[in-house]
């Protein structure tokens, strides 16, 4: 096609509000943009929906105590995770995915699965200064 300009019709659905800063997809990406957010959600998920801080940190090499707590706090205020204190012999803390949090596991696992299945593509990526 000699015409570099793409058919404007393709943009029809986006014309009114092309890519508003607060559109739904952007929020999702924003939510997943934190360095540890997805890791923690994923870790909680494969741990059966809940885990204790110690276990979390052990499962996520490189995760500092500070970032863990901070991310968990953010996830709490977002309503994706809840802090549960278990009154056993030595009282123990546990973080658990909320119902809302469970919903966001879906797109997250989609991404993770895609990434795993297409690891070859991801390795083809030119190394950007990281």
Interface with DNA in residues 91-110 (CB under 7 A): 92-93
Least Cα distance to 85 among 56, 58, 52 occurs for: 52
Say how far apart CA 7 and CA 12 lie, in whole Å: 10
Residue 64 lies near a copy of itself (rule: CB under 8 A) = no
Burial letters 90-117, b for 16+ CB under 10 A, else e: eeeeebbbbeebeebbeebeeebeeeee
- Report in angstroms how near the CB of residue 46 gets to DNA at its nearest: 18
Under the criterion CB under 7 A, does residue 57 sit at the interface with DNA? yes
The owner of tokens 């508003």 is 20
Q: Which does 67 bind (CB under 5 to 8 A by kind): DNA, a copy of itself, none?
A: DNA
Tokens for 95?
């973080």
User: What is the DSSP secondary structure assignment for residue 64, as one 8-state letter?
Assistant: -
Beta bridge partners of 93: 85
- Does position 26 interact with DNA (CB under 7 A)? The reply is no
Binding a copy of itself by CB under 8 A: which of 39, 68, 72, 105? 39
For the CA atoms of the chain, what is the radius of gyration?
19
The listed partner (a copy of itself, DNA, none) that binds 41, CB under 5 to 8 Å by sort, is none
Task: Select the binding partner of residue 88 from a copy of itself, DNA, none (C-beta < 5 to 8 A, by kind).
Answer: a copy of itself
If binding is defined by CB under 8 A, does position 114 make contact with a copy of itself?
Answer: yes
Contacting positions for DNA (CB under 7 A): 34-36, 52-54, 57, 62-67, 69, 71-73, 83, 92-93, 129
């Amino acid at each position: 096609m000699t015409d570099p300009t793409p058919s404007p019709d393709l943009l029809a659905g986006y014309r009114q509000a092309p890519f508003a800063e607060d559109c739904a997809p952007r929020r999702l990406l924003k939510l997943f943009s934190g360095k540890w957010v997805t890791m923690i959600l994923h870790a909680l998920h494969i741990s059966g929906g809940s885990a204790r801080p110690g276990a979390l940190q052990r499962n996520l090499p490189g995760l500092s105590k500070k970032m863990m707590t901070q991310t968990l706090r953010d996830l709490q205020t977002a309503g994706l995770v809840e802090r549960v204190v278990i009154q056993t012999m030595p009282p123990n803390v546990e973080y658990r995915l909320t119902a809302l949090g469970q919903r966001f596991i879906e797109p997250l696992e989609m991404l993770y699965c895609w990434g795993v299945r297409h690891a070859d593509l991801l390795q083809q990526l030119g190394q950007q200064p990281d």
